[in-house]
Amino acid sequence: MSKSKELQLEILRNYFSIEGNVATLQLVYDTFSELINPNFGDVKTEKLNDKLLSDIREAVSLLPAKFKLNLHIVIRDFGDYTREECDNIIKQNVYLSAYAALKDNSRKLISGLSLVGAGAAILIVSYLLRNHELWFDLINISGTLFVWEGVNMAFLERSLENRATRRLVKSIKNITIEGESGQK
């Protein structure tokens, strides 16, 4: 193992329990209600705020790509919730997060392809006006920018976000939730 990988693992051991290629992280929250966004949805299934998902994303980003992550979530006080309700709320929010990511991905693809199409049309117009040097240059630059932004949005940004989402999904091996007293 190289010195840089040894140093990386040594640093990660300060935050994670590491066995082989599996890292275990304990996330501790005082109350389950601090993870809830009270202004979103109805009473049946609450929406989590970004605190837990942000902590999970950060943990995954710190680990080497080949590692799996076990999350051990400790809630000191479930309040009005049972552990099963907390499990259900977290599961439903993961589904909601995946749905939102797919919807955003689709929107970016459509927007990007629209920009590429508009840029191509502008470039065609610029070549029709190539006898008028000033207009040709202005329209040509505008068309090129549209195509550039469209390709960036439709393919590059989406590709990076897809890779990050896939890594997040593949990295999480197990999530356990328990109260501070150790009752699962």
168 has a pLDDT exceeding 80: no
Q: Considering the domain boundaries, does residue 153 fall inside one? A: yes
Q: Considering the domain boundaries, does residue 184 fall inside one? A: no
pLDDT digits (tens, 9 = 90+) for 53-110: 888 888 888 888 788 888 888 888 888 888 888 888 877 887 777 777 778 878 888 9
Q: Considering the domain boundaries, does residue 88 fall inside one? A: yes
pTM to 2 decimals? Answer: 0.62
Taking CA atoms, 166 is separated from 7, 20, 60, 90, 161, in Å, by: 26, 22, 11, 19, 9
Axis crossing angle, helix 158-171 with helix 50-62, rounded to the nearest 10: 90
Q: Considering the domain boundaries, does residue 19 fall inside one? A: yes
Number of domains in the chain: 1
SS3 54: helix
One-letter amino acid of 182: G
Which domain, by its residues, includes 102? 3-179
Other CB atoms within a 10 A radius of the CB of residue 66 amount to 7
Q: Considering the domain boundaries, does residue 83 fall inside one? A: yes
Q: Considering the domain boundaries, does residue 45 fall inside one? A: yes
What are the beta bridge partners of residue 80?
none
Q: Considering the domain boundaries, does residue 168 fall inside one? A: yes
Q: Considering the domain boundaries, does residue 100 fall inside one? A: yes
SS3 47: strand
pLDDT digits (tens, 9 = 90+) for 59-75: 888 888 788 888 888 88
